[in-house]
Amino acid sequence: MSFLRHVGKHGDRKVAIVFREVPGEPHMCLVVYPEILNQHIHDPLIQCIESDIGQNSENLADALNRTYTKDGTIILQKLHSEGMLKKINTEQVLMTPGPNIKIRLNELNKMLDEMKLGEDAVKRMAELDASRGMQSPADVARRMRGDKVETAPVVASGDALGDAALANNLRQQATKMTNEAKGLMAEADRLLKEAASMDPVKPKKETVRKTKTATLEATPKTKTTRVKKENVA
């Protein structure tokens, strides 16, 4: 089984980690229990987690904000509006990204934070041999580390996301996607210019159709002289 991010357990229940840390409460996280979801939410959510977008996202929420349920609603909005996002202690979440790989979310978060600050975490790899089936935090953290810049966190209110915070997060996502689109357009323009310099395309000659002007000659009208035949007596 390949390594899979954003997957863990809360007790005996499987959870998807939507936000691994709650702003202002780093010991808390936001999760969703896939088992309680309807099929039109469950299936797209699992597909999102397993997709490249999901696996390359720092927080699963970033990917869920770009993925739709079967009825056409953004998954992150659906989970929020139906109160399915739950806030629990990171110490209670055991990450299980693969066989014989186990690490508590609070330890993983600490390692990820240290790696972002540039601290040396490689020395903790030695803990792997003595872990007896418990994966070294440094090992899992290194593989879970993404190159993408983390988007601004969404502030939690109670056990779910606040409406204003969620709306702000959506605006930031829209701005990010707009900037990415502009970057792609600029790159496409650059590639076209480069291609033109390497292999100039000769403009096609337009065929000029000459229209012959017909000269209409006026035909003189011939007067018909009626000759009266006189009766000769």
Q: What is the pLDDT of residues 122-135, one digit of tens each?
A: 556 556 555 555 55
Residue 69 lies in a domain: yes
Dihedral sign from CA coordinates of 123, 128, 131, 134: positive
Residue 21 lies in a domain: yes
In Å, how far are 41, 106, 113, 174, 175 from 33, measured between CA atoms? Answer: 11, 19, 26, 27, 30
Picking from 69, 105, 80, the residue whose alpha carbon sits closest to that of residue 158 is: 80
Domain ranges, residue 139 = 7-151
Tell me the pLDDT band of 44, cut-offs 50, 70 and 90.
Answer: very high
Residue 30 lies in a domain: yes
Question: Tens digits of per-residue pLDDT, 204-213?
Answer: 555 445 444 4
Residue 13, pLDDT > 50, answer yes
Residue 217 lies in a domain: no
Question: Tens digits of per-residue pLDDT, 166-187?
Answer: 777 777 777 777 777 777 777 7
| Ranges 91-95, 108-112, 136-140, 144-148: which has the least confidence | 144-148
Residue 174 lies in a domain: no
How many domains are there within the chain?
Answer: 1
Q: What is the pLDDT of residue 215?
A: 45
Q: What is the mean pLDDT of the chain?
A: 74
Residue 159 lies in a domain: no
Residue 1 lies in a domain: no
Mean pLDDT computed over 49-71: 91
Residue 204 lies in a domain: no
